[in-house]
């Protein structure tokens, strides 16, 4: 981990604002539960058009870890404005709405859109199955989970 961190830092020295180095450094900090530092890297990456969606999803993860679902939702809505068919963003929104219980129909809509956006993305299928189960749609949940298991 330390070696990777140093490589990304060297890259930033050579090219300040290098989005993927900022994102990777943020991920390393996040893995070490250094969420404040991770957030600083992600915020820098979010200022770039290239890293906007990934950085906002990462910032949303940090917000969720800190029990700030409202802020996470806002970041994910921003990410959707940048990339309306981003499966990762749609899946995260599905989870937030499903976990909160405030709008199960919207959770299902986001989960279904996540699957449609990336049909081979197992995490999206698993989330759709989870949302179906939470809504009492047992047969649909089973069918979706079988599909996910085959990916």
pLDDT over 90 at 129, yes or no:
yes
Confidence of residue 17 (pLDDT cuts 50, 70, 90): confident
Report residue 52 as tokens: 């906007």
pLDDT tier, 49 (very low <50, low <70, confident <90, very high otherwise): confident
Q: What is the C-alpha separation between 11 and 7, in angstroms, rounded?
A: 6
Residue whose structure tokens are 């989960």: 111
Q: Assign 84 a pLDDT band (cuts: 50, 70, 90).
A: very high
């Amino acid at each position: 981990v330390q070696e990777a961190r140093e490589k990304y830092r060297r890259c930033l020295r050579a090219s300040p604002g290098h989005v993927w180095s900022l994102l990777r450094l943020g991920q390393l900090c996040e893995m070490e539960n250094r969420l404040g530092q991770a957030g600083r890297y992600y915020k820098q990456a979010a200022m770039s058009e290239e890293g906007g969606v990934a950085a906002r999803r990462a910032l949303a993860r940090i917000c969720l870890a800190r029990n700030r679902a409202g802020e996470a939702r806002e970041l994910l809505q921003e990410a959707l404005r940048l990339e309306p068919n981003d499966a990762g963003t749609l899946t995260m929104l599905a989870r937030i709405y499903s976990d909160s219980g405030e709008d199960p129909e919207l959770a299902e809509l986001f989960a279904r859109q996540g699957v449609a956006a990336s049909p081979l993305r197992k995490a999206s299928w698993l989330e759709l199955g989870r949302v179906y189960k939470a809504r009492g749609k047992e047969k649909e949940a089973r069918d979706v989970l079988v599909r996910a298991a085959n990916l």
